[in-house]
Amino acid sequence: MTTAPERAIEQRDALGEPSDPYPQGQVGRPVLRYGGGDRTSGAQRFVADLRFPGSLQVALVSVPVGCAEVLGVDTTAARAIPGVVDVLTAADLPSPMPRFGVSHTDRPVLADGRVNYHGEPVAAVVAETLDAAQAAARAVQVDYRELPGVYTLDDALAPGAHLVQEPALRPGHALAETNVLEDAHYAWGDLAAEEARTEVVVEETYTFPMVTHFPIEPGGTVAVPTDAGGIDVYSPVQHPYLLQRTIASVLGMPLNQVRVFAPDPGGGFGGKQNPKLEPLLAFLALRTRRTCRLVLSLEETFQSMRRAGCRIAARTGFTADGALTFHSVEADFLIGAYADVAPRVMGKGSYVAAGPYRIPGVRIDARAVMTNTTPSTAFRGFGSPQVSWALESQLDAGARRLGLDGLEIRRRNLVGKGEAFVRGESAAAADGEWHQSLEKAAELIGWGTPLPPGRGRGIAVGIKPGATSGLSQSLVRLLADGSAIVYAGTSDMGQGARTLWQQIVADELGAPLEQVSVVSGDTGTVPFDLQTSASRSTVFMGSAVLEACKDVRQRVLALYAESTGVAEEELGERPGVLVTPDGELPLPEAARVALGSLRGEFIGQGTRRLRGKSKHPLGGDAAFYEFNATAIEVEVDRETGELLLTRHVTVSDVGTELNPLQVVSQDEGAAIMGLGHSQMEQLLLDEHGRIRNLGALDYRIPTFKDVPLELVSAAVENHDGPGPYGSKGISEGALLCTAGALGAAVADAAGVVIRELPLTPERVWAAIQAAEAAQ
């Protein structure tokens, strides 16, 4: 019987060169997920599964509109309900209201005089039971006056529009009297001169919907006051140290009084990166001096996180032979009521709005526009899917005008390795042989081969900058019996980071794979890690673990020399072994000899640091770029507008596959997630700013009935990445250009071009009907 890992090896052998840094080693093998057994069996304990005997239950109070002035909060009836311990309102918090945020310190712990989005907490009830808390929350009387909130880009940008944010929160800021929170501008070349030599100009506008992360695990937080006056916080947060810093700041505590426990999240995708309700729970716990627990419903989770919607007006020029001459972009990101990390999403996404192409003249103007909607945050792709949808559609439009196909137009414009695709002071160059991914995707989709009527193919490429600064620290302990423990602050939210640490340590220290354990998710135990985002885990923490292993080997060598009397200069070390004058010793055996009868252990420390650049628009050069080529074959039912994806190919430039099984899993997951915003996902609002399709029944995500008939994942390996053994981050690439490839395939199959996502059956059918009526 062929096992799943063996099948993965067979697949990677067929589609890409397998990695093998150390023959017979663990790195490069499809090792099964560390802790995967508990996830598949249901034994995994998420925050909501943790037991806190005697804890108080928390329920939130909100108003049924997206924008309102809070005139008063009457808690009398709520307090009278048996079991209610406290009801917290803005009046009970310090004045001025404590605020927090990633890019701007603008988010209040509770709504402070004004509700800025539907679902924003106005009060919080604390009770002995959840039933009592929820009953009391319904009994809280909120006197409010609905305000003329702005829920669309047009409303927010209109002259005299209601201001989502009080100008006082941005004193002296040039945009404080507008709903534009921040803007970004990138330009190079002479657009006028380039336009003068242009034969074909394509000018269109594209829209990308607001979508929610839809983690299977809803949001949740538990706050526990400590006897020493501090606070322990349990949260599925992706950035435990950021949460620690935030809690310490709003409470006015030193960092050592705040401890964050971060159990593995049940899905993150960027939505659980940053603090949301944790500061509120911390205040409640300190106020009541008891453990306080909050688990959101799925509907409440929808109201706490989403991806930024976007509208992009693009103007693109081509020569007669298909060379790009200029690209002009105006991108408005619909970010919501508070900043969170949205300005960074806008800036980083728009930085690559001209894509991985050779374009002499570019102008990119982007704005982060505030609206009275759920605050947007990081979401897999971090702004790149929005701009890729517009750019890739523009290329296909130009190709149709010039009589070229989608593959050829990209062949003629894609940059080569080392060639700049962003020019000027903040120049960026290709860090991979990206044309290989394009060609492999074309080959695997069968580009150019005949298709039956009603079918079409599309191909697209996408790019995303990796982390531009970072700090990851790790400790590795090699114990006297040859087993090892890794301490790393990276959150494992499904990307399988701990599995990679296992593999690295097993090879570098010669420890059996099953005898390498990993400790994470506790700021009181593990060393500092800046964050788990931007597909940085392998490159940053992986490098720190690798360095810690090298530190261990050096320590083993030094103590071995001291214990045996062999001069250090006569000894050497390499992964897994100590080299002695008498031959090689497995490192665990050498460690036992060096430790002697007293036993003990060796502790190694590793650090990976990338310093930013203050004058760079992104804060620094990207450590690497995620590059992906996606090709899709689709069948369109002209009578219903339904799409049947017959084949979906995704090819990522990975550097080196440390674990082929996990690369396949990440690419497949990202590809299907990309089909969500491309085909069906969108948050719909009513006239009061309320989300109309809250929850699993009314908000559609892809199921097994929606996935392509054939999903092919491949990789390009050139061992040219900055991570361990030449690896790069890969977890976001396969959704960057899904929409562009699907849109092109639909246009090829049905002869209609749609510029508004998602490509729902209704939208496709309406476009077909309009085209037929115009004939």
Whether the Cβ atoms of residue 268 and residue 491 lie closer than 8 Å to each other: yes
Q: Tell me how far apart the alpha carbons of residues 494 and 290 are, in angstroms, rounded to a whole number.
A: 32
Residues with Cβ within 8 Å of residue 151, at least 6 apart in sequence: 66, 371, 372, 373, 685, 689
CA 263 to chain centre: 18
Residue 743: φ, ψ to 5° = -60, -40
The torsion of the CA quartet 253, 257, 263, 267, rounded to 10 degrees, works out to 10
Q: Tell me how far apart the alpha carbons of residues 89 and 12 are, in angstroms, rounded to a whole number.
A: 57
Q: How many helices (H) and strands (E) does the chain have?
A: 19, 30
Both tokens assigned to 529: 């890690």
Both tokens assigned to 7: 């099948």
Return the amino acid letter for 531.
Q
Half-sphere exposure of 174 (CA within 13 A, CB side): 2
Q: Tell me how far apart the alpha carbons of residues 429 and 80 are, in angstroms, rounded to a whole number.
A: 65
**Strands of 200-208's sheet, edge to edge?**
180-188, 361-370, 324-336, 309-318, 200-208
The single residue of 508, 732, 756, 772 carrying the catalytic annotation is: 732
Residue 637, SS3 per DSSP: coil
Q: How many CB atoms lie within 10 A of CB 53?
A: 5
Q: Is 671 left (phi over 0), alpha (psi -120 to 50) or beta?
A: alpha
Whether the Cβ atoms of residue 279 and residue 109 lie closer than 8 Å to each other: yes
Please return the burial class of 377, using the count of CB atoms within 10 Å of its CB with bins 0-12, 13-18 and 19+.
buried
Instruction: Identify whether 732 is a catalytic site residue.
Output: yes
Strand-pair partners of 207: 311, 756
The catalytic residues are 732
